[in-house]
Amino acid sequence: MRRRQFIVCIVGAAAWPIAVGAQQSDRMRRIGVLMQVAESDSVFQGWLASFRDELAKLDWVEGSNLRIDYRWAGGDVTKLPAYAAELVALKPAAIFAATPASVTALHRATDTVPIVFANVNDPIAAGFISNVARPGGNITGFALPERAIYAKRVELLKQLAPGITRIVLIYDPANTTWSTTLAEVEAAGRSFGINASGASVHNAAEIDAAIQAFAREPNGGLIVMGSPSVVAHRDKIIALAARNGLPAVYAFSYFVAEGGLASYGVDNVEGFRGAALYIDRILKGAKPGDLPVQFATKFELIINMKTAKALGLDPPISLLARTDQVIE
């Protein structure tokens, strides 16, 4: 009798970890992350760290009660549809994406899995939502006020380099709002007596060709659109601008930290943290169609004085006085 009880106890003890494991698995929630840049991109990794930190504050800890499946396209938009399909097939509770091309791929892959975006410009024009206050469907997130901000970037470039008479907008056509952005840059250019044009680029070779061709004429400057394929080759753009003596204004601060002249744009961390808040609400039962799309409210002006001096520029005191960060 005692032997039978002993065997029962041993079997029960052996089964206990399996039962616990099953309970842990039941508590684990799953989300996906689709990034257009390379996994080695330290800037995006930093933003994702903020995203995970915000989730952790809400008691969603990766490896504990949350599993995150990542896909990195390395700046190659052709990989996005396959990666989007892979993430959808995993049946996550939600998927996070941070570029228009990534959201486009997910939008085509599913109309049921909740999608939360950050740093996407004009989501209505892109076809992601039909209404800002009540998006409906399965997509919501945090958007950029891109149209108005490009006029500010043209003004900034003119303040930094008063002698410019030509501007070229460097853009990736995978960004669905490039045409409206170009129209905004052209209109802003006319108000300052500047001739503006656009250069469509997909890769490093096209970036090189476009900037070298533009630099053949004097008094030029660059406005660089923040598309991921452009971001992936930011080191080349910064180097070409310096080599050809072209003042340039960028969408993101990390261009300036890495040697670019100046940037005026949103605080990207704000969008990633906001996306984590929406992921939390979806994990707790909210529908993405009921969560209003929010627009970035925090903007940063950053100037690299070392680069300005190398270009022979002397930013006015009035401009430096309202600069959020001056890199010496």
Q: What mean pLDDT is predicted for residues 33-57?
A: 93
Q: What mean pLDDT is predicted for residues 280-306?
A: 94
* Domain total in the chain: 2
- What distance in Å separates the CA atoms of residue 251 and residue 75, rounded to the nearest whole number? 17
Residues 138-185 pLDDT 10s: 999 999 876 678 899 999 999 999 999 999 999 988 777 778 889 999
pTM: 0.79
Specify whether 274 is located in the same domain as 308.
Answer: no
In a domain, 127, yes or no: yes
- Percent of the chain at pLDDT above 70? 91
Q: How many CB atoms lie within 10 A of CB 56?
A: 14
Residues 83-99 pLDDT 10s: 999 999 999 999 999 88
Q: What rounded mean pLDDT belongs to the chain?
A: 89
pLDDT reported for residue 180: 82
Residue 59 sits in a domain whose CATH number is: 3.40.50.2300
- Percent of the chain at pLDDT above 90? 69
Q: What mean pLDDT is predicted for residues 26-41?
A: 90
Specify whether 246 is located in the same domain as 191.
Answer: yes
R_g of the chain computed on alpha carbons: 24
User: Residue 3, CB half-sphere, CA atoms under 13 Å: how many?
Assistant: 0
pLDDT reported for residue 298: 81
Specify whether 221 is located in the same domain as 283.
Answer: no
- What distance in Å separates the CA atoms of residue 156 and residue 322, rounded to the nearest whole number? 12
User: Which element (helix H / strand E) includes 84?
Assistant: helix 80-89
- What distance in Å separates the CA atoms of residue 227 and residue 216, rounded to the nearest whole number? 25
Residues 255-288 pLDDT 10s: 999 999 999 988 889 999 999 999 999 999 999 9
Q: How far is CA 59 from the centre of its chain?
A: 25
Residues 312-328 pLDDT 10s: 999 999 999 999 999 98
